[in-house]
Structure formats: structure tokens, C-alpha cells
Amino acid sequence: MLDHFNRKINYLRISVTDRCNLRCMYCLPEGKFHHKKHEDILRYEEIQEVVKVSVSLGIDKIRLTGGEPLVRKDIVQLVEMIAAVGGVKDIALTTNGIYLEEFAKQLAEAGLHRINISLDTLNPEKFALTTGGGDLEKVLKGIEAAKMAGLSPIKINCVIKTTEDEPDALAVKEYCIQNGLQARFIEEMNLKTGQFSVVHGGSGGDCKNCNRLRLTSDGKMKPCLFSDIEYDIRKYGIKEAMELAINAKPEKGTCSNNGDFYNIGG
Ligand code: SAM
């Protein structure tokens, strides 16, 4: 489907959970955050239905994200269910990699094509500090497992403060070159206020070429990461919510005030 600015919308990012096994300093809002109620989280059958309707509206690229998608029970089964829909040319997943060693092979066999893994530093102490106790070794083993499983391409998402020349970013870049991985550098957004916005000069917010819709783990269809507009698929129905979201897609993102980044999936 084309939106009002002649952009072809063919990509849906689905957040499958608002829960995560890490506590990255830059990702969580200030103070207490409240997890969605279990009964509000979309069931796999509902997500599969969304994918079916999406395909009929021209979506051919799906990404699963979170929270951390690999903490959701039976995530491999969801990938199978999405692959079974047919018409999805590209199924991808974004993960912090902690559980990837266990899941990479099963995910690939279920129909996952490619994967993005978040990795900001190769320093184990710093990794543990910035992720709230994460084990870097597990992520590195997860990356190896993804390579062995034939997931391709493997992209590394590296959050930087301001420049790709920061020592941690340079080390990640070198590691990617040595291991045949693609590095992507994302400028850190300040989410502390519960508000996040397009980083000017940063890599986010390529609005002219935006082809995306986002589905939150509790069923809100969002036309833009940097906006509070959303349509509840349980209220409007899937097709209607998607059409409303496509029609409401702003020419340019501005900011979101709901502080819900960890639920939308970035
Ligand atoms: N748990 C998964 C992961 O770690 O990749 C998927 C969800 S996570 C929210 C998706 C991406 O958002 C990660 O690459 C993470 O580094 C990025 N991210 C989180 N907070 C950010 C921020 N404040 N600025 C820029 N990127 C951020």
C-alpha cells in the first residue's frame, strides 16, 4: 500500500513482548515501569492473523522484536506460524543475543532468514554494567551460533554516544570485519524524560524512505516510532487499524511522549 506521501509500506515490525532479560541503561524509562498485563499481550494466533492481513495489504517483510523476543515462550513456534502464512519474503528478528546460542538453529529451521544482534562494547565489565548484569560471552556465543545456523546477513546494532570513532564502536567495527558481520551504528536517544525524538544527523528517522508500520506487544498499530498515533487492532480490527495507520503516517516523525520504547521495540 502507498501512504499519502507515496511511500510504499511493505515492512511490519512486531514487538512480541515488553519484557526483557537485560536492563540497558539507555533503554529503560526513568523510575518504575509497568509491564503489560499478560492478558493484554497478543496471542500467537492473533499475531499470525495480523501477518495474514498484512500480506494482503502488501507487507512482505516482518521483523520480530521486543522487549527481548527470545524471552517469549515458544518463539520458534511463532516464526513457524509466520513462515506458514506464505507471501512473507523476509522474516527477521532483533535480539540482545543472550539466548541465541540455544535458539539460533531452531529459529533458522523454523524459517527465520536474518538477525540483528545488539552489541555496544566488547569489554565484558562494561557490557555487564550497561546492560544490568549481562554476560558478553553469551552474546558472542550466540553470534557464533547464528553464523553456524546460516542466518544471513547478521547485523550488529551498536549504540554510540555521538560518533563511530568512539573506542567501543571501533572495537565492535573491527570484530564485525573479522567475523563477516555488518555493523550498524545508532546514535543514543535520550529516553529518560519518557519522550524520544528523531536524532538529527543520526541514523534514525530516514522519513522519506520509511516503509514501516509497528505493532506493539499489546496490539497497537503505530505508523511512526516518533509519534504517539496508534490504532488498537482489537478495537478497530486488524485491516482497519492498518489502513488507519498507513493513512495517518506523518511525513516526518517528531517525538513520542509515551516513554514506551521498550514495548515498541525501537
Ligand atoms: N531486546 C532486543 C535487542 O536488544 O536488540 C530488541 C529490542 S531493543 C529495544 C532494539 C534496539 O533498540 C537495540 O538495538 C537497542 O540497542 C536499541 N535502543 C534501545 N534504547 C535505545 C536508545 N535510547 N537509543 C538508541 N537505541 C536504543
Rounded to whole angstroms, the Cα distance separating 110 from 95 reads 16
Amino acid letter, 222: K
CA of 119 to the centre of ligand 1 (A): 10
- Report which protein residue has its CA nearest ligand 1's atom 12: 266
Pocket flag, ligand 1, residue 27 (CB < 6 Å): yes
Per-residue confidence band for 199, with pLDDT thresholds at 50, 70 and 90 = low
Pocket flag, ligand 1, residue 253 (CB < 6 Å): no
- Report which protein residue has its CA nearest ligand 1's atom 14: 118
Work out the mean pLDDT of the chain and round it to a whole number: 93
Q: Name 247's Cβ contacts closer than 8 Å, sequence gap at least 6.
A: 3, 4
Rounded to whole angstroms, the Cα distance separating 212 from 150 reads 26
Pocket flag, ligand 1, residue 15 (CB < 6 Å): no
Tell me whether the omega of the peptide bond preceding residue 250 falls within 30 degrees of 0, making it cis: no
What is the distance in angstroms between the CA of the first residue and the CA of the last residue of the chain?
23
CA of 27 to the centre of ligand 1 (A): 6
Rounded to whole angstroms, the Cα distance separating 137 from 196 reads 31
CA of 95 to the centre of ligand 1 (A): 9
pLDDT value for 205: 67
Mean pLDDT of 194-201: 61
- Report which protein residue has its CA nearest ligand 1's atom 25: 188
Pocket flag, ligand 1, residue 265 (CB < 6 Å): yes
CA of 235 to the centre of ligand 1 (A): 28
pLDDT for 3-26, tens place per residue?
A: 999 999 999 999 999 999 999 999
Per-residue confidence band for 36, with pLDDT thresholds at 50, 70 and 90 = very high
Pocket flag, ligand 1, residue 188 (CB < 6 Å): yes
Among 82-86, 150-154, 198-202, 221-225, the range scoring the smallest mean pLDDT is: 198-202
Among 24-28, 59-63, 88-92, 170-174, the range scoring the smallest mean pLDDT is: 24-28
Rounded to whole angstroms, the Cα distance separating 200 from 127 reads 27
Domain boundaries, the chain: 11-264
Q: Which of 111, 110, 131 is nearest to 119 (CA)?
A: 131
Q: Which of 115, 111, 99 is nearest to 153 (CA)?
A: 115
Residue 60 C-alpha from the chain's centroid: 16
Contact 9, 213 (CB under 8 A): yes
Rounded to whole angstroms, the Cα distance separating 169 from 98 reads 20
pLDDT at 32 > cutoff 70: no
Pocket flag, ligand 1, residue 44 (CB < 6 Å): no
All three cell numbers of 48, joined, read 499470525
CATH architecture of 11-264: Alpha-Beta Barrel (3.20)
Contact 142, 117 (CB under 8 A): yes
pLDDT value for 86: 92
User: Is residue 183 packed enough to be buried (19+ CB in 10 Å), middle (13-18) or exposed (0-12)?
Assistant: middle
- As separate numbers, helices (DSSP H) first and strands (DSSP E) second, the chain gives 9, 11
Pocket flag, ligand 1, residue 10 (CB < 6 Å): no
pLDDT value for 44: 98
